[in-house]
Every structure is written in structure tokens, then in C-alpha cells.
Amino acid sequence: MNNTEKTKVSKSNDNTQSTLPLAETPAAMPTDTNATPKPQRIGVKQRRTDFTEYKETYFSPVVINKENRRAINITKETWALLERYSRILGDGVATIGGYADHIIADHLAAYLDDLEAWRKL
């Protein structure tokens, strides 16, 4: 071997030799698996934009009349959270039922393809 090209000689089970550049050996690979990218800071403008989009999506009024309403049972803790955020963030126009309806509809829309595939299993 010459000095300008560093290689590693390895033997396989059939007694043939192959050469691998040292950069491709596992020992030369970076071993820092705990390195995480530095989180990006979210500015005030972006938070306001996100909040505006959230309000438009989840706190818009929903017309739930006698013909299309149904009762569901939820825990007291979930009810308290829905009530708190619909009251505080909904600017007095959002109802708990409307907020819950938007959340459930958004979840079902996001997972509709998966739900259909799982139903057919």
C-alpha cells in the first residue's frame, strides 16, 4: 500500500480480500447520535398568525340545530378544558359544542384515509 491512499484490508469468510477506504469504515463514521438541531425561535408575528388561523379554524360559529345535533359523553376534565378555551379564546362567540365539533371534524378529515384502510382489515 502506498502512503497517499489509506485503505483498510478486510477478509471475508471465503478468504478473499477487499479494500475499503477508511472513511467508509464504521469507526470513521460520526458517533454523536445525541446531537439535536437547535430549535428555531418563533417570533411574536408568527404566533399571532398561528393564533388567527387557529381561531378561524376552530372557533368559528357552528349551527347545530335540533335535526343534526347528537349527544356525546366526555370526561369532566375534557369538558373543563373545552369550556375554558372556548370561553377565553373564542371571544364569546364560540360554544363548547362548536369547538368540539371542529376538533373532531378536523381529526376525522386528517385520518379519513387511514380509518378507511383500517376498517377494511
Please, which pLDDT band fits residue 7 given cuts at 50, 70 and 90? Answer: very low
- Tell the burial category of 86 from Cβ atoms under 10 Å away from its Cβ (0-12, 13-18, 19+): buried
Per the prediction, the chain carries an average pLDDT of 79
DSSP-assigned letters across all residues of 54-101:
HHHHHSS-----TTT-------HHHHHHHHHHHHHHTTTT--HHHHHH
> Is pLDDT of 42 > 80?
no
Who wins on pLDDT, 16 or 72? 72
Please, which pLDDT band fits residue 81 given cuts at 50, 70 and 90? Answer: very high
Among 35-39, 61-65, 74-78, 95-99, name the one with the lowest average pLDDT: 35-39
